[in-house]
Homo-oligomer: A and B are copies of this chain.
Amino acid sequence: MDGAGADVSKLREHNSLSIVRAMRGQPPATVTELAGRTGLSRPGTDVVVRGLVTDGWVKVVEPDGSTVGRPARRYRFNADAGHVLGVDVGAHKILVLLADLEGEVVRSHRVPVEPEADPAVRLAAVDTAITECLDAAGMRHDRIWAVTVGVTGPVDATGRTTLFTPLPGWASVSPADHLSTRFSCPILVENDCKLGAVAERWKGVAQDADDIVYVLAGMRIGAGLILDGTLRRGYGGAAGEIGALKAVRWLSAPSHLDNCPGMPPEVHPDDRAAWVFDQVRAGDREARAALRRYVKDLAIGAAALVLALDPQVVVLGGGWSRSADLIVDPLAHELDRLCLRVPEIRASTLGADSVALGALRVALDQVDSVLFTDGMPAPLTSGA
């Protein structure tokens, strides 16, 4: 292609993307409205929209006849043209979310797994969860345009392989390679804290913020960083792993809850935090002191991130969101003591779905990055 041809093709791609972006998540719009939203000329918009309809990216919405006269034709993005999967590989569960190209979740499926499960068992559970989810939605594997898998521990720079993880045997596993025998679309692997951060900016409590420190607070503590609206992966994929540094106390923080005085021996390790929270709510002083020690340690690492990055918002995520009221205030108090400028602290409301939601967003970004390029055939030409 010569220079001018490449420029025209680039411009068409650019205008198509602008119009699709102006349509997504919006009610059906007329060409005039779309021209207004994109800043393109009305005739130019009309040409691009017709092309998008021909290719299957855009659907015509017929007027419902309730208005007098001949109403203008309206258009909407064909969100069903493709779908993406977000998969959360947790210690206790595999959660699969299936979404359309507007990020609307059309199916959710959860399969329990033992924390002690070896990699083969865990990967089999991933396969089961995905297959059951797609079957329930009546969808074939080859209709999926991108898959993102959330895992514990950092993921290498290629976004395929987990580097370190508390899941038994999991560090030697490549979930992307495993799934690539079932899918021909791009498969990305990402750290769960990073995905939690992405989810909060997409559908959570930090939609208004560009600079976010996300702290996953639980019996394991981790962080995900969003700066200038972009997830920080780091040069080798290991950004956010400040918790590995003993001095910031995230490794030792959970022991304060584990060793809370009065803990009955029959309480399962996974339920110890809940037991402490219950005791705190019941007014127990020793439980309150244990929780205070946990928050003090949590605050050291959080303060290190706040002082290093000076974010707009700190989001407190993780499985304890129902007990956030017991953590946010003392955490704010500690940060106030430790930091030069204290950002707003907000508790996540996405609950247990956050990692899988973040995975969906990363999969949608992957689709967006190739939309209208040579690598991505239009829905009608690809038979979708």
A residues in contact (CB < 8 Å) with B:
3, 39, 41, 154, 163-164, 211, 223, 225, 227-228, 230, 232-245, 247-249, 300, 303-305, 307-312, 338-341, 343
Contacts and interface: CB of A to CB of B under 8 A. Distances in A.
Given A227-B232, A232-B227, A343-B235, A245 B310 contact: no
A248 B304 contact: yes
Given A247-B248, A247-B249, A340-B154, A234 B311 contact: yes
A230 B232 contact: no
Contacts of A242: 304, 307-308
A60 B187 CA distance: 54
10 cross-chain pairs, A with B, having the tightest CB-CB distances, nearest first: A234-B310, A235-B312, A238-B310, A239-B310, A242-B308, A236-B341, A242-B307, A241-B307, A304-B304, A238-B341
Nearest to A309: B239
Contact of A308 (B241, B249, B339, B340): B241
A39 B233 CA distance: 32
Contact of A225 (B154, B244, B308): B308
Contacts of A211: 234-235
Contact of A309 (B39, B230, B232, B340): B232
A353 B232 CA distance: 31
A339 B305 CA distance: 16
Given A211-B234, A232-B227, A235-B211, A245 B303 contact: yes
Contacts of A164: 340
B247 A340 contact: no
Contact of A236 (B236, B304, B310, B338): B310
Contacts of A248: 247-248, 304
Contacts of A39: 3
A90 to B, nearest CB: 21
Contacts of A304: 242, 245, 247-248, 304, 308
Contact of A244 (B300, B305, B339): B339
Contacts of A310: 233-241
